[in-house]
A and B are shown apart, each in its own frame.
Chain A
Amino acid sequence: MRERLQKTKHTFAIGSGKGGVGKSLLSSNFGIHCSKKAYKTLIIDMDLGGANLHTYLDFRPTPTRIDLWNPREPESILKTISSTAFPGLDIIVGSDELLASQIESASIELLVYEIMKLDYEVIIFDLGAGVGPETLIPFCAVDTPVLLSTPEDTSIENAYFLLKKAFHFKLRQVSKELGYEQGIQEIINKPLKKFSTPSDLLKYIGGSEQFPGFNSKMKELSPGILLNQVRSFNEESIGPSMAQVCRHYFGLDIISVGLIQYDSSMWVASRKNKSKMMNYLDLKFCGQMSSVFQNLLKSVTFNPQRNKIRA
């Protein structure tokens, strides 16, 4: 993003590349968790075309939606915010009319930037499926991107696809920001040097001494991998394994932030009564979810003044 955001806030983006793996369920509960911890929290539905995060929060759709934002009046972002039933948790409801393909990348970048400037301590982007700019821009801009997958091959494949796209997006972004566009392009196109992995490429760039600061900027993209719907002991190691494979393949500091077991009764409950989800954190099942959230918040360094105020 164009200027360094003040570190009294922490931004997250939850993405998966694939639909139906539990992004909105996770994001909404993470939002509730943060607000219960007394963090002033904003959650944004970035699904521009099939938004339903508000439903997970038992929040009736209102005319106050992300559509009200006008790129020509950046401060119009304030009009898109609604409060939820949870004290300290606000939401920007997504759109079911806007089509991502109709919005220019530059406008999405501006939108994300305006949101990240807002006065909240925790900001969570719930990303839609796919790998369009409305997904890649927030995924690469936030402090902690979270890559959500389930143990199924198709879900893992789509999660990696999102990560590959994000890597290339970030590569272009950093090259441009540091003025290395031409130099980096020349390396990628070297006819005699073939890079078999992104990690090989970063190692080569890091060793060339022509691009100071490039790799440390690239490493700002270091997602946490979260595995949802784990059904057996054997599947428990998939998240840490994915993180290890990604560290070797991308050369980024990717870690596993935990797992959440499949609990069929919970999902049935959530379908019957959406508001049940508000009590998630009281249920035993939520122990895992809660420990994942605590893991995510561990990386957060808030303004030290804040703790004094709370104490």
Chain B
Amino acid sequence: MSQTFDELDYYEILELHPNSSYQEVEEAYQLAKKSFHPQSSALYGILAQDQAQDFYKTIEEAYHTLIQPRRRQEYDQILRRTDANEARLLTNQKLGATQLKSVPQIKNEIPNWALEEESFSGAFFQKLRHHKGLTLEDISHKLKIKKSYILAIESEDFESLPSAVYVRGYVKSIASILGLDSEKAANQFMTHYK
């Protein structure tokens, strides 16, 4: 655990409310990962590199605990009766240390060809997903969205999709996991949706 922020619990680390949804955990993780990545410009002149690296590991740990329902439940119960440091130790003792590699790590960077994207078509999402080495299963597992819906979004097969309000939510989540501006991507994609 990072010595710099060693009194923070996992919710405080990701700036979340204890009742946050899994989608909110995912979004908070994406922002925290960008902010505290050892190469992040936002750390320049404020945290030493070893402090940043330690804290980055803690963010990963927080995410992998809060995104897994059983682990989160266990952690919540322990946290109610003890402090942040002990809650982390006891959770790890009971369920084993977090398996950081079991969930695919997503590449942070956005390739140059994707930076100029304006239309955010289904084909674009698919191309970027392939670039990041993610399978349909990875996305479906992470976001709890049916594989068939992700595929339908990527092929713009609108007839196989539910109503617009759901599709918009799915596209936002997919865009966010791919490291895109989710609001802009969803707005643009929905202009194709009929």
| Contact present for B115 and A241 (CB under 8 Å) | no
Which of B8, B32, B51 contacts A244, CB < 8 Å? B32
Which of A161, A196, A197, A247 contacts B45, CB < 8 Å? A161
B177 to chain A, nearest CB (A): 15
Taking A197-B4, A233-B110 as contacts, is the C-beta distance between A245 and B43 under 8 angstroms?
A: yes
| Contact present for A160 and B181 (CB under 8 Å) | no
| Contact present for B35 and A241 (CB under 8 Å) | yes
Instruction: Indicate whether B34 reaches chain A with its CB closer than 8 angstroms.
Output: yes
B interface secondary structure, majority: loop
Segment at the interface with B among A6-14, A96-104, A150-158 = A150-158
Which of B4, B32, B45, B55 contacts A156, CB < 8 Å? B45
Interface residues of A in 229-253 (CB under 8 A from B): 232-234, 236-238, 240-242, 244-249
| Contact present for A245 and B41 (CB under 8 Å) | no
A283 to chain B, nearest CB (A): 21
A88 to B103, CA, bound (A): 58
Which of B35, B40, B51, B115 contacts A233, CB < 8 Å? B115
A237 to B183, CA, bound (A): 13
A292 to B39, CA, bound (A): 27
A interface secondary structure, majority: helix
Contacts of B51 in A (CB 8 A): 196
Contacts of A246 in B (CB 8 A): 46
A236 to B8, CA, bound (A): 27
A199 to B181, CA, bound (A): 30
| Contact present for A244 and B41 (CB under 8 Å) | no
Contacts of B42 in A (CB 8 A): 156, 238, 241-242, 244-245
In chain B, what residue has the closest Cβ to A246? B46
Instruction: Indicate whether A168 reaches chain B with its CB closer than 8 angstroms.
Output: no
Interface residues of A in 134-149 (CB under 8 A from B): none
Interface residues of B in 35-91 (CB under 8 A from A): 35-36, 40-47, 51, 55
Instruction: Indicate whether B15 reaches chain A with its CB closer than 8 angstroms.
Output: yes
Contacts of B45 in A (CB 8 A): 153, 156-157, 160-161
Instruction: Indicate whether B3 reaches chain A with its CB closer than 8 angstroms.
Output: yes
- CB<8 Å pairs between A and B, sample of 12: A156-B42, A156-B45, A157-B45, A200-B7, A203-B7, A233-B110, A234-B109, A238-B42, A241-B42, A245-B43, A245-B46, A245-B47
For the complex of A and B, list the 5 residue pairs with the smallest distance between their C-beta atoms, beginning with the closest: A157-B45, A241-B42, A241-B35, A244-B35, A242-B42
Sample of 12 more A-B contacts, CB < 8 Å, known A241-B35, A242-B35: A156-B44, A156-B45, A157-B44, A196-B4, A196-B51, A234-B110, A237-B34, A244-B15, A244-B31, A244-B42, A246-B46, A248-B5
**Which residues of A approach B to under 8 Å, CB–CB?**
151, 153, 156-157, 160-161, 196-197, 199-200, 203, 232-234, 236-238, 240-242, 244-249
**Which residues of B approach A to under 8 Å, CB–CB?**
3-5, 7-8, 15, 31-32, 34-36, 40-47, 51, 55, 109-110, 115, 181
